[in-house]
Amino acid sequence: MKLFAAVFCALLAVCVAEVSQRIVGGTTATYGEHPYICSLQRQSGSSWYHICGSVIWNNNNVVTAAHCLSGSANSLRVVCGLHRISNTDSYQVTRYLSSYTNHPSYNGNANGFPNDIAVMRLSSALSFNNYVNKITFATSGTFAGQSCKLSGWGRLVGGGATANTLQKVNMTALSHSECVSRWGSSYINSGHICFYEGSGTSACNGDSGGPVRCGSTLTGVTSWGQSTCGGTYPSVYTRVSYFNSWLVSQAGSQ
């Protein structure tokens, strides 16, 4: 089965992984509704392109999926307080990266892309307001059965155009055992959490690295799923509570 973690190979000369992520079946978010999400962008020539989502951990660090990152940190930046990719929004701020660290056990060649999480260090600190702010990362909990909210600028339909305006969609968290029964134990481990809302609703290319929030808590970082997006299999996310100790070791306290 083909997976969807490919990071905009069609838009960039640099391909990071063989997977993909977007939001299918969602609606347009209001400006400031998700102040913790940033657009991770890569430079190509004189232009910058959105490649993945990312999530504010604290003033100096932003978290994303490891499969979103490769090459020099100098070619990467995050834009926070962003609502529309093609516009300059009132409160958006740009921060270049000083460095990034992928989880040391991340394996982009293994089934299920285990340990798909990374910390990016910013060249200068973020100032928080109603449009740019951190979110509390989960430290425990299964969240099974809860309706949670995914947000991102990924493709609106499989193989289609990406969203210019931030999208959102509600999806239900599955138990670990149910996710294993859908995908198989060779793909799903304790560092994963799955969400599903029926065929026609999914993450997709461009949503990778972005947030899934349950209540006021960040529960997952978008990782992978079916390459067609919106299919009959659940989307798979990095379970942030599983990696809390590593995040603190890399980025300090929230």
| Residues annotated as part of the active site | 67, 116, 208
Q: How far is C-alpha 152 from the chain's CA centre? A: 8
* Cα-to-chain-centroid distance, residue 218: 11
Task: Yes or no: say if 194 and 11 are a contact pair by the CB < 8 Å rule.
Answer: no
Which secondary structure element, helix H or strand E, spans residue 211, and what is its range? strand 211-214
Per-residue DSSP letter, 117: -
The C-alpha atoms of residue 154 and residue 211 are separated, in whole angstroms, by 12
Structure-block tokens of residue 89: 């929004």
What is the full DSSP assignment across 131-149? SS---EEP-S---TT-EEE
242: left (phi over 0), alpha (psi -120 to 50) or beta: alpha
